[in-house]
Structure 1
Amino acid sequence: MGKVYLVGAGPGDTKLITVKGLELIQKADVIIYDNLINRDLLNHAKEDAEIIYAGKQASRHELTQKEINELLLEKSKGKNVVVRLKGGDPFIFGRGGEEAIFLAERGIDFEICPGVTSAISVPAYAGIPLTHRHFASTVAFITGHEDAGKSTSSINWERISTAADTLVFLMGIRNLKHITEMLIKNGRSAETEACIITNGTLPKQKVVIGRLRNIAEKAKEQRIVPPGILVVGKVVGLRDTLSWFEKKPLFAKKIAITRARHQSTKLGTALSEKGAEVIYIPVLEIQPIKPNKKLEEAIKELKNFYGIIFTSTNGVNIFFDSLFENKKDIRALNNIKVFAIGEATANALFSKGILWDFLPDSWTSEGIVDILKTLDLKNKHILLPRAEDARDIIVEYINNHGGICHVIPMYRTVLPKKPEELKEKPDVITFTSSSTVKNFIALYGKALLENTLTASIGPVTTETLKSYGIVVNIEAKRHDISGLIDAIEAYFKTENKT
């Protein structure tokens, strides 16, 4: 018999899932998830995991609760690890209790993995503490969306309206007018501070502030739609002082990353930390060249080389994979000068146990050439393991100055097998190489770039964009990921001042 885990996915921000929750997603054989979870969490699932969408969206359910229960029963057969992934916390208006009872009554082994509930985290991201010793000593969580099958409401409006200093209604957007009317009717002052928060903890977060008497009308004016929560109480007034999330430098900016999926994490994480909504549209995949006899022969003859020039992290990883496959380790690079084109490449080398000898000030091929100009290259053999389609500026300089450059194509950049569908227009599209430019245009055309900001990692990529007639709005002064992020942030900082 398998086991079912009822897992809280948190409120939206993927970093707010618990450590245990993430571990369960990673080991699950089956994941049954609701609409309110962040789909990015599913990227942590095993490649062979069965992933099933259960729906549970306002006014529309893909599966009924009965069907979900039966699905849990069916998938728990055998030795499956089944994760029932639910938004927020499974026991806070998430029907986790109902599903747990269903499993218990049928003898199915289960565990509960609590999640960070939106009732607490979403107000926190809006700068609203639910309790404060000067304003609120009590707080109540209330459903704003009762079971439609009930003949009468189970909410005691007469008692709840004034029983707690802070009231938090979950899933109450559609019933907002009714909720506010009932609170006022049952003794809550119409002047009580109130706010609606939608898409809480995400870059799309929107906060509408008002009073009980007018919050429903304000929400209608702002075209607020579910999901969202309503907070009622004096603590709402603290938002003016404590608002922090919306103040992030790239808050709500939609920024697209075109790098290969496996290389997008650092850039995506850094942009998210600054408040951006990251859109992943990888336009290339890295395809190692295998078999690669030229590389194998070069590795066998490493002792004959004066130096090795690494021009990318991909080159580092593929080279060392081949080195180890050929029963050699980093000792084979003894007495060989190691060149790294930039900080990311240098860090990749360090992770393999190699300290670089040369790192240019300008993290480009031209920077490498500047270093080569200071060296005597006569009769020196230099290994250049790189992409199949790369510029020859380094090769030409070495060969034209008495050296012998051995170029080893190790990988090629190819179009992805399944290109991502662009569901929304980005504010900024980032390009980190000429290949990302060429492949983006091959996949999506130039029209989208004509009305969207473009951000280039450096002059070579910029020239490629310009060769297609594309205006470059942002170019990194420091030609790496950190430099690109700094340039984007500086652009919007300047724009906000004008």
Structure 2
Amino acid sequence: MRLKGGDPFVFGRGSEEAQVLREHKIPFEVVPGVTSAVAVPAYCGIPVTHRGIAPSFHVITGHRKNGEPAEMDYAAMVREGGTLIFLMGVTSAEHICQELIRSGMDKDTPAALLERGTTAGQRKVISTVERLWEDGKKAGIKPPAIIAVGEVCSLSDTCGWLEEKPLFGQKVLVTRPRRRSSGMAGRLREAGAEVVELPSAEPKLVQDKEEVQDLRETVSQIGRFQWAVFTSPSGVELFFEFMKQEKLDLRLLMGLRFAVIGEGTRRALQSYGLFADYMPERYYARDLGKGLAETLLEEAQGKRPETALLLRARKASDALTEELLKAGISFEEKTLYDTVLPDASPQAERVKELLKKQDFSFVTFTSASTVEGFLNLLNPDAEELSGFTAVCIGEETRRAEETRRAASAAGMKTIVSDKPSMDSMAECMERFAAR
């Protein structure tokens, strides 16, 4: 697999590679992409075509192999009257603009320099063909950037949209476990952030043979419980993974009721065709314990309350069990998974470089273990850590405080979200970025 930005056959040298592969009788496929010649202007509010203004667009390379400006028929480009997009042309911008004017283009024709389009570092300079080079130089525009020339550049403010997003210009490092990071990353991208994912802690099913056997026996006799309790989406997913691994039939769950914390856990359960019977209004383990205990006692009407099976991580909060014990509720707690800190990550080197450049605005942490895993993977120095803000999930006071302390101890500035949810963490970043 050869990954390329944009489209491999639009100044991506994909065809040259295809020729070599064919020569060596190596089969290949080409997956078309969205070329930066269209995507970057769109992210900057510049349509490459517009009715009555630009009936066509032309994509041109800005330099030759030796780095010199490409030889082109500028007069023909001017006669065509469409939008001109020059890729890899920043170093040749002055020459390109001069040649266009020399070939008859009106010096006041709108033009734009678009730097690092679609990323958190996106910048644009909207000018004229005559002044574009000087204005770009004053703004410090550097590669990677493209040049757009044509009347459509005047639509940039009207059609611009990315700059209006609350997290535009922010680069965020998400350290959630891989199986949980996509939702958070998607939420942040929707808000305009550029997201880099570095899972620094992973939930994994228990591996110890005795623990596996004990868990199997408990689940195979799950009918002796009336409730199953899950406190995380990972717990739900790993439970069903365990049942499949151990060849345990889903019909064992018939008649079982489910209690969960939070919308994420509820949705995870629902994805298996099961619906939560109880979820507290506040997404805290203590609230789950209190609310579930009250529900069981109320339903018992003076008789012995129903029993619950708690399927959780090894280092789970004691708040849930404390409330159940206080209310006299009978339950069993089983360790379903461990939180494992990875030894290495293919993303680690890239993230290290970005840290050195102090390229991140925020790093998200959902537990003290994600902080520990982050530090283990990257071994950053204090200066690198001082360049961004750690956003810690606001869960139970104790857990949030543990996460904040771990981040603060490493030298990071910290903020804590109001609620224990991904939406709340994103909103926290939006408020902070707007200050």
TM > 0.5 fold call: yes
- Cα contact 1:251–1:275 (8 A) shared by 2: yes
Deviation string for 1:263-293 (max 9, x for gaps)? 2111112211221011223221222212312
Alignment partner of 2:329 out of 398, 403, 411 = 403
The 5-angstrom pairing of residues 327-406 of structure 1 reads: 327-374=247-294, 375-376=296-297, 378=304, 380-406=306-332
Alignment partner of 2:204 out of 287, 305, 315 = 287
- Partner Cα distance (1:473, 1:487) in 2: 8
Partner of 1:228: 145
- Cα contact 1:254–1:278 (8 A) shared by 2: yes
Cα deviation for residue 357 of structure 1 reads 1.0
Alignment partner of 2:2 out of 21, 32, 55 = 32
3-state DSSP of counterpart to 2:114: strand
Partner of 2:369: 435
- Cα contact 2:392–2:404 (8 A) shared by 1: no
3-state DSSP of counterpart to 1:476: coil
Alignment partner of 1:463 out of 383, 392, 401 = 401
Partner of 1:21: none
Partner of 1:487: 428
2:136 is equivalent to residue 194 of structure 1: no
CA pair 281-325 structure 1, distance change in 2 beyond 3 A = closer
3-state DSSP of counterpart to 1:324: helix
Cα deviation for residue 106 of structure 1 reads 7.2
- Partner Cα distance (2:78, 2:407) in 1: 62
- Cα contact 1:465–1:472 (8 A) shared by 2: no
- Cα contact 1:289–1:412 (8 A) shared by 2: yes
- Cα contact 1:476–1:486 (8 A) shared by 2: no
Partner of 1:322: 242
- Partner Cα distance (1:458, 1:153) in 2: 55
CA pair 107-186 structure 1, distance change in 2 beyond 3 A = same
The 5-angstrom pairing of residues 12-51 of structure 1 reads: 31-33=1-3, 37=4
- Partner Cα distance (2:291, 2:334) in 1: 21
- Partner Cα distance (1:99, 1:372) in 2: 62
- Partner Cα distance (1:363, 1:168) in 2: 51
Cα deviation for residue 109 of structure 1 reads 5.7
- Partner Cα distance (1:362, 1:108) in 2: 58
- Cα contact 1:119–1:168 (8 A) shared by 2: yes
- Partner Cα distance (1:94, 1:336) in 2: 56
3-state DSSP of counterpart to 1:270: helix
- Cα contact 2:110–2:127 (8 A) shared by 1: yes
- Partner Cα distance (1:329, 1:141) in 2: 58
Cα deviation for residue 161 of structure 1 reads 3.5
Alignment partner of 1:476 out of 418, 423, 429 = 418
Deviation string for 1:363-406 (max 9, x for gaps)? 11012122134132856432111111112222223233323331
User: Percent identity at matched positions?
Assistant: 35
Provide structure 1 residue ranges, at least 5 long, that are not aligned to the other structure.
1-30, 38-86
Partner of 1:134: 52
- Cα contact 2:50–2:152 (8 A) shared by 1: yes
Instruction: After superposing the two structures, state which structure 1 stretch, 468-477 or 105-114, moved more.
Output: 105-114
Cα deviation for residue 252 of structure 1 reads 1.6
- Cα contact 1:456–1:476 (8 A) shared by 2: no
Deviation string for 1:78-137 (max 9, x for gaps)? xxxxxxxxx333333333444555666777666554332222222122111222233223
Q: Which amino acid aligns with 1:462?
A: A
- Cα contact 1:387–1:410 (8 A) shared by 2: yes
- Partner Cα distance (1:441, 1:95) in 2: 39
Partner of 2:97: 180
The 5-angstrom pairing of residues 70-109 of structure 1 reads: 87-100=5-18
Q: Which amino acid aligns with 1:473?
A: I
TM-score w.r.t. structure 1 length?
0.75
CA pair 230-335 structure 1, distance change in 2 beyond 3 A = same
3-state DSSP of counterpart to 1:236: helix
- Partner Cα distance (2:204, 2:11) in 1: 47
Q: Which amino acid aligns with 1:321?
A: E
3-state DSSP of counterpart to 1:207: strand
Partner of 2:189: 272
Kindly report the root-mean-square deviation, in angstroms, between the aligned alpha carbons of the 2 structures: 2.8
Cα deviation for residue 139 of structure 1 reads 2.9
Structure with a larger share of its residues in helix: 2
Cα deviation for residue 466 of structure 1 reads 4.4
Alignment partner of 1:205 out of 122, 135, 139 = 122
CA pair 445-402 structure 1, distance change in 2 beyond 3 A = farther
- Partner Cα distance (1:127, 1:457) in 2: 34
- Partner Cα distance (1:232, 1:248) in 2: 26
- Cα contact 1:456–1:484 (8 A) shared by 2: yes
- Cα contact 2:371–2:407 (8 A) shared by 1: no
2:396 is equivalent to residue 454 of structure 1: no
TM-score w.r.t. structure 2 length?
0.85
Instruction: After superposing the two structures, state which structure 1 stretch, 358-367 or 479-488, moved more.
Output: 479-488
Cα deviation for residue 227 of structure 1 reads 2.2
Provide structure 2 residue ranges, at least 5 long, that are not aligned to the other structure.
none
- Partner Cα distance (1:276, 1:356) in 2: 33
- Cα contact 2:290–2:323 (8 A) shared by 1: no
- Partner Cα distance (1:304, 1:107) in 2: 62
CA pair 487-300 structure 1, distance change in 2 beyond 3 A = same
- Cα contact 2:278–2:292 (8 A) shared by 1: no
3-state DSSP of counterpart to 1:265: helix
Deviation string for 1:240-267 (max 9, x for gaps)? 2111122211112111211112321111
Deviation string for 1:13-57 (max 9, x for gaps)? xxxxxxxxxxxxxxxxxx234xxx3xxxxxxxxxxxxxxxxxxxx
- Partner Cα distance (2:339, 2:48) in 1: 51
3-state DSSP of counterpart to 1:168: strand
Instruction: After superposing the two structures, state which structure 1 stretch, 417-426 or 350-359, moved more.
Output: 417-426
- Cα contact 1:140–1:164 (8 A) shared by 2: no
- Partner Cα distance (2:88, 2:253) in 1: 61
Cα deviation for residue 446 of structure 1 reads 8.8
